[in-house]
Structure 1
Amino acid sequence: MVSLLLTVFILQVVIHLINTVGATTINELLWVLYNKLPTPSSTAARNAALQKREVLRLKKEMNGISAQDDFARWAKIRRQHDKAVAEHDKGASALQASKSRFDNAVTSFRWLSTNGLRFFLQYWYARTPLFWLPQGWVPGYVEWILSFPRAPVGSISIQVWGIACASVVKMVGEAVAAGLVLNSKKPAGGAREPQAFGPDQPEKSAAGVKKEL
């Protein structure tokens, strides 16, 4: 059952990473990578980016012209700007529809390959002992809990092993995050904490100070 033990552990690591990074962030990254490939939406994505730059260029140019001093030129650029905006909105709408379908497909695949697979393994191997505890090592009621819900008493069920893996992965993840935060807050090399007295200024005790009448 070594492979099943490792499978459950890796699955919990993947689920923890997805929850930490965020499903939306992962979808956005996969969408960018998807459009780098020769896919149906890659051309639309490039055109949308070009149209957006053109809209910004025309807007900047239009703002640099006075409508009172040079109305003819300003009106011409305004018509070009409105046309570019309409084309951009049309392309962006179609691209957003493609992205919504992509997000739905990625979300379904991610759920099936993580939580869906976890539920399937827990159901399929519900009666399978992953490993056995030494006889008499723990009380009987603890053996029953560790074999919950349907594994043989005295063994570790896949449900309990999954909970244990998830707990360990979460604790390690929190420890790593805390370590990174503490490391990022360390002072730069050579920096020292401020001292109450300078190196050339001897410390004086309150008893050595004379009061003047």
Structure 2
Amino acid sequence: MSLIFTIFTLVFITELVSWIGKSILLHFAWTAYQGIFNRNAVKRQRQLKTEILSKKAELLQTSAQDQFAKWAKLRRSIDKGLADLEKLNSELNASKSSFSFKFNATLWMMTTGLQFVIGWWYSRSAVFYLPVAWLGPLTWWLSLPFAPAGSVSCGVWQMACKRVIKVGERVVKEFMSE
């Protein structure tokens, strides 16, 4: 793929991520990750919750004075279930925290970091050349910082792509709100 389309695609993906939102993407990725790698823990968590709720309902129907032995046994069972659930929840929260850090770092590397790398790698390359008479003496500005004179640099092309995509976003939002 040529440099012009590579940069445009990268800027578009970055803007798409910002439109959707990192938190929404993280939620979907975490749900998928849990379904694949933490299936047993999530299943166990659901089982514990249903067991605790059913035992609490049974506990509420049991008289503490008339059926003390049964009530105490249910109470101990609920306490043990809550302790197990709390331990499982802390393990899943630690796993989610670790996943969140890795996901955000990967997302940053695939969008913003990759834009920096491409901008640095092709800093002396021209994305495309403009005809000489189009902008006259302002043509030098489009080649900043290091691209050949009369060309458009990666940084300027990234800014132009981002601006066009932002305008497109605004048009789509206005169209959707009507």
Normalised TM-score (structure 2): 0.89
Q: Is the 8 A contact 2:12 2:162 kept in 1?
A: yes
The residue aligned with 1:3 is: 2
Task: Return the offset for 1:139.
Answer: 2.4
| Residue 87 in structure 1 maps to residue 89 in structure 2 | no
CA 1:56/1:4 → structure 2, altered by over 3 Å: closer, same or farther? Answer: farther
- In 1, the alpha carbon distance for the partners of 2:42 and 2:146 equals 52
Equivalences for residues 6-45 of structure 1 within 5 A: 6-37=5-36, 39=37, 41-45=38-42
SS at match of 2:2: helix
Task: Return the offset for 1:27.
Answer: 1.3
Q: Which ranges of structure 1 fall in alignment gaps of 5 or more residues?
A: 183-213
The residue aligned with 1:185 is: none
Moved more, 156-165 or 49-58: 49-58
The amino acid across from 2:48 in the alignment is Q
One of 148, 163, 173 as aligned partner of 1:152: 148
Q: Which ranges of structure 2 fall in alignment gaps of 5 or more residues?
A: none
Say how many residue pairs are matched.
178
- In 1, the alpha carbon distance for the partners of 2:58 and 2:116 equals 58
Task: Return the offset for 1:77.
Answer: 2.5
* Identity over aligned pairs, percent: 37
Any idea what the Cα deviations from partners look like across 1:136-163, whole Å, max 9, x if unmatched? 21121x2121111111121111101101
Task: Return the offset for 1:180.
Answer: 2.1
CA 1:3/1:65 → structure 2, altered by over 3 Å: closer, same or farther? Answer: farther
- In 2, the alpha carbon distance for the partners of 1:116 and 1:67 equals 63
The residue aligned with 2:166 is: 170
Task: Return the offset for 1:71.
Answer: 4.7
One of 97, 101, 106 as aligned partner of 2:103: 106
RMSD between aligned alpha carbons? 1.9
Identify the structure with bigger relative contact order (alpha carbons < 8 Å, sequence gap 6+). 2
Q: Write out the 4+ residue segments of structure 1 that deviate beyond 6 Å after TM superposition.
A: none
